[in-house]
Amino acid sequence: MSGLRLGVDVGGTFTDLVALGGGDVLTAKVPSTPQDQSRGVMNSVRAGEVEAGSVTAFAHGMTVATNALLERKGAKTAIVTTEGFRDVLEIARQDRPALYDLTQDRPAPLVPRELRFTVRERIGPEGEITPLDEASLEAVVEALKEAEVEAVAVCLLFAFMHPEHEKRVGEVLREALPDVHVSLSSEVLPEFREYERFSTTAADAYLGPKLAAYLKNLANEVEGAGIPTPMIMQSSGGVIDLEVAARGAAACVLSGPAGGVVGAAYVAGASGYDDLLTFDMGGTSSDVATILEGEALTTTEAAIAGVPIKLPMVDIHTVSAGGGSIAWVDAGGALRVGPHSAGAEPGPASYGKGGGEPAVTDANLYLGYLQDGVELGGEVVLNRGRAEEALTRVGDKAGMDALETALGVVQVANTEMVGALRVISVEKGLDPREFALVAFGGAGPLHACSLAEELNMTTVLVPKASGVLSALGLAVSDVRRDYVTPLLSDLDTVEKSRLEESFESLERLAAEHLKGPEYTRRVDLRYAGQSFELTVEADDLDALAKNFHAAHERRYGYRMEEETVELVNLRLIATVPVERPELEEKEPEDKAETGRREANFDGEWVEVPVLDRTKMGAGSEVEGPAVVEFAEATCVVRPGWSGKVDEVGTLILERGDE
């Protein structure tokens, strides 16, 4: 194939590749290489037998920034702020992670107190109050040199409105400490609310050196192979130049999961489904998100590993229930699953790579959903005997046999994932029964029908490339940049011309960064007295209040049209659409059934047909109970479910009337 669009997604267990071109979809899956993720990227290119000269575009999603936050293995970071505000990161919002749990502590700040420094200056909403004291700045520079930090976050009061002092501090630091990464809050997040701005900027500095080093290494590897420099997926669901990503690490913390949501919207849209709940179950965790009218919902209120990052990102909820999540028995004798994962090394017990603890994959293997002896990712062979031994060891602690333990492990994991789906639907005022569930990831289709039953959903979509859908999403992602400017005012008193001028100013800035972008305007609004905002479309400036009232009622169940509506921020999304190839499904090649095997449903062993997805085509049908084996995933069709493959290759499963 020529003119290939390449997408490579690095997950906790596997690294996935998708190459699109000429209507064909080329896929590959190899084990991830946690010590150096770029090795896994290049391994996937070799496994897919991709010819370097045929690649015209390359997009990449990774977990470097996410893992650095989760494991607290970022750079040694300092913060420089206004005198008297040294402890904003520590004070935070003075709330507790769990309101009634006095034993649960908030995660420690990314910057310890001894690395928080202050300069004498003060800016208010109207401008300068106290000039920047250069002597105090010089003292901070010397202290930073002595501390030997790798990164510095600069967060001065009201820098989001008047960045002059902050820019001066940044200029001095970059000149005096040329090898130190410097993040300015006025560049990272020019919005009000000190704590969120400080936290986001600190995260950007903390992650910057590690992400920049990884991307530089990856660029060298790719260049040496003759492949175009990769574009990098952001948390917002669009890709940006590698150099821009290296300078804005905080915008890439959900790089990998965002690709899956984009891929789900693209594939499901081709099948005619626009309202979706996405379910991405990998080896380490499960990610769920909502797509309304073909567009992924985004948020600016996310906290990753306990760190608030107030940048636009796909509204993804993650739970630690993946194929590699380890089953264990707690002190009370209850069966638990996760949060610890066997990962890629050593992996579940059935991998035979040294892992002795049973994982969700072992339970699925024992129950007959996965084939004993099947090869995963070109290197891993599943062994049912090892899975049974591990399940028996854990089951003995809870007084259960291997079958009861396996059923329990799957049920506990399912309960965790159903809870996640409720968070992004029911808790947002959305009825899951009105949505289709898109299942992907290596383990997603195994559990999809069970989750849909729990939520009374009747439609499950399993894309042809479900095992590598995040990589597919990367390959079809638009180039995107997000812009924000604060504008604090009552909505009914702000002049329309002022709004228009502010948006046009953002559009001029976007035009300098992107070639021929398309624009989406949005605003953050709230009722007077509220602490947080809702973001609504701003294509029609005369309908802002109406749109806000409707959004508020959908989210919270009520509206207050008599209350004053306040404007907080203007937002601009600038995108450059990429060419998205049409998906096509060929006619069935041969009889898809390759055999039959025993599988257990709700405690009962049943002989079920096993279908080879590669031999199925447009119009191919399946009746549950059955197992459909995809190239990189396995789909369990539970009793009462049936479906067929549509014209774009998606297996559409429907639940019959009970």
Which pLDDT does position 272 carry in this prediction? Answer: 94
The listed CATH number (3.30.2320, 3.40.50, 1.10.10, 3.30.1490) that belongs to domain 479-576: 3.30.1490
Report the candidate in 595, 591, 589 with the shortest Cα–Cα distance to residue 618: 589
Distance CA 658, CA 656 (A): 6
pLDDT of 649 > 60? The answer is yes
**pLDDT 10s digits, 275-300:** 999 999 887 788 899 999 998 888 88
Helix (H/G/I), strand (E/B), else coil: 490: strand
Helix (H/G/I), strand (E/B), else coil: 655: strand
Distance CA 90, CA 320 (A): 27
pLDDT of 160 > 90? The answer is yes
Other Cβ atoms closer than 10 A to 78? 26
Output the CA torsion 339→342→343→349 (10° steps).
-140
Backbone angles phi, psi at 367, to 5 degrees: -80, 0
Which pLDDT does position 523 carry in this prediction? Answer: 95
pLDDT of 23 > 70? The answer is no
Of 47 and 474, which is predicted with more confidence?
474
Other Cβ atoms closer than 10 A to 100? 6
The DSSP output letter for 425 is T
Sign of CA dihedral 472, 475, 479, 485: positive
In contact, 357 and 387? CB cutoff 8 Å: no
Mean pLDDT score across all residues of the chain = 90
Q: Which residues of 29-47 are buried (b: 16+ CB within 10 A; e: fewer)?
A: bbbbbbeebbbbbbbbbeb
In contact, 264 and 445? CB cutoff 8 Å: no
User: What is the helix (H) or strand (E) element at residue 523, kind and residue range?
Assistant: strand 518-527
pLDDT of 264 > 90? The answer is yes
Tokens linked to 180: 């130190």
Other Cβ atoms closer than 10 A to 258? 30
**pLDDT 10s digits, 32-62:** 888 888 888 898 888 888 888 888 889 999 8
Mean pLDDT of 242-264: 91
Other Cβ atoms closer than 10 A to 531? 7
In contact, 453 and 439? CB cutoff 8 Å: no
Other Cβ atoms closer than 10 A to 604? 9
In contact, 613 and 464? CB cutoff 8 Å: yes
**pLDDT 10s digits, 529-582:** 898 899 999 988 889 999 999 999 988 889 999 999 999 999 999 999 988 878
Tokens linked to 213: 């080093």
Tokens linked to 625: 């109970």
Radius of gyration of the chain (CA): 26
Distance CA 485, CA 467 (A): 39
Which pLDDT does position 657 carry in this prediction? Answer: 66
Tokens linked to 389: 């031994």
DSSP 172-228: HHHHH-TTSEEEEHHHH---S-HHHHHHHHHHHHHHHHHHHHHHHHHHHHHHHHTPP
Tokens linked to 211: 């992400």
Distance CA 624, CA 194 (A): 55
Of 418 and 587, which is predicted with more confidence?
418
Which pLDDT does position 235 carry in this prediction? Answer: 92
Which pLDDT does position 575 carry in this prediction? Answer: 94
Distance CA 207, CA 66 (A): 9
In contact, 26 and 50? CB cutoff 8 Å: yes
User: What is the helix (H) or strand (E) element at residue 642, kind and residue range?
Assistant: strand 641-645
Q: Which residue's structure tokens are 């949005």?
A: 522
Backbone angles phi, psi at 221, to 5 degrees: -65, -45
Mean pLDDT of 498-519: 94
In contact, 263 and 473? CB cutoff 8 Å: yes
For residue 625, cis peptide bond before it (omega within 30 degrees of 0): yes
Which pLDDT does position 658 carry in this prediction? Answer: 52
DSSP 264-296: HHHHHHHTT--SEEEEEE-SS-EEEEEEETTEE
**pLDDT 10s digits, 374-420:** 776 566 788 899 999 999 998 988 889 999 999 999 999 999 999 99
Q: One-letter amino acid identity for 174?
A: R
Strand duo 626-629 + 604-612: pairing: parallel
Residues in the chain: 658
Distance CA 459, CA 436 (A): 5
In contact, 439 and 23? CB cutoff 8 Å: no
Distance CA 287, CA 417 (A): 9
Give CA separation, 342 vs 11, 284, 336, in Å. Answer: 13, 8, 15
Which pLDDT does position 344 carry in this prediction? Answer: 64
